[in-house]
Structure 1
Amino acid sequence: MNTAPSSPSETPATQASSRIPPRWFIRTAWVFHRALYRVTGGRVGLRHPSSAVYGMMRLHTVGRRSGAPRVAIVAYVEDGENLVTLAMNGWGDPPPAWWLNLRARPAASVDLPEGSREVVAREATGAERERLWAVWRTLEGGADLDAHAARRTRQTPVVVLAPA
């Protein structure tokens, strides 16, 4: 049972009703998405968010232990000049490596459909977190957001990427 719900509305009933693909499928989709981006020279794979669908961006971090450059394609929404994403690992319990890297070194860059941007990461807390989580609920697939988050033993961080 989840000891740190992502929102007050999470219940065991919503937890039991959520369905996510198996881990092997999620990992295969990530590999395919990165390959599609690479093969098309970046013409396919990124998109702007809309009022109904999240966008896709490439996030460049520095490995917290290796110091090597790392890249992940993640979903995002816009909140004014900020970009907002959820630090989830295909709804798996451990945090994604990119989030651990950002916690160690908050300076990063993102590739968006219109170009690159330097950003600084921070975790949203309190009322800001609840407001941004509610935005994610309004998007396609957002009705299951709380149920998916309830599968995790810790709260899903909401990550704000502010312009550097």
Structure 2
Amino acid sequence: MPIQKQLERIFVRLNASLYRVSGGKLGGRVGQAPILLLNTVGRKSGQRRTSPLLYRQVGDRYLIAGSHRGAPTHPAWVLNLRANPEAEVEIGKQTIPVVATELSAAERETAWPQLDAIYSSYADYRTKTDRTIPLFALTPRANGAAAPPSKG
């Protein structure tokens, strides 16, 4: 495994641990952009996978981008959500069961300005890659907890 990939995994684990211990006070923001922890089920491993992600709350939904910093491939969590759209998000000290819906082209056009407003690097990521960066709306499941008040 390349050293960059190893370092990325260590950072993700550290960020998630700090986030959980502090209720999101540590590792809970990048500049003005809030971070949530997305928990998916690995499509190959069946294991729980956690990804710290920037998000924008719009109503009761959380918008997230599969930007992978403009890399030519999708992050693993995108493939995991496509295989199984039921997931959980951790925001602060709350864990919320959600269902993911990948946004259509028209919905992406409406959502990008909302995401760019919290994190301007998204525009740069879109120019770095030939792939369409997928956007997802995470909606609390009917049997899950209610969405917390917007923090971002």
| TM-score when normalising by structure 1 | 0.72
Judged with a 3 Å threshold, the aligned counterparts in structure 2 of structure 1 residues 89 and 145 are, in CA distance, closer, same or farther, namely closer
Matched with 2:43 is: 64
Is the contact between residue 61 and residue 108 of structure 1 (CA under 8 Å) also seen in structure 2? yes
Which residue of 120, 123, 126 corresponds with 1:146?
A: 123
Equivalent position amino acid for 1:45 in 2 = G
- SS of match in other structure, 1:118: strand
Aligned: 1:117 with 2:99: no
Deviation at 1:122, TM superposition (A): 1.2
Give the percent of matched residue pairs that are identical in Structure 1 and Structure 2: 28
Matched with 1:163 is: 140
Deviation string for 1:75-114 (max 9, x for gaps)? 1110110001101223211100011000000000010014
Moved more, 36-45 or 57-66: 36-45
**5+ residue gaps in structure 1?**
1-22
Moved more, 101-110 or 125-134: 125-134
Partners in 2 of 1:78 and 1:27 — Cα distance?
A: 31
Judged with a 3 Å threshold, the aligned counterparts in structure 2 of structure 1 residues 76 and 128 are, in CA distance, closer, same or farther, namely same
Aligned: 1:134 with 2:113: yes
Partners in 2 of 1:118 and 1:63 — Cα distance?
A: 16
Equivalent position amino acid for 1:145 in 2 = Y
Judged with a 3 Å threshold, the aligned counterparts in structure 2 of structure 1 residues 69 and 33 are, in CA distance, closer, same or farther, namely closer
Is the contact between residue 93 and residue 154 of structure 1 (CA under 8 Å) also seen in structure 2? yes
- SS of match in other structure, 1:70: strand
**5+ residue gaps in structure 2?**
142-152
Q: Which has the larger radius of gyration?
A: 1
Aligned residues: 136
Which residue of 41, 46, 53 corresponds with 2:28?
A: 46
Matched with 1:85 is: 64
| TM-score when normalising by structure 2 | 0.77
- SS of match in other structure, 2:138: strand
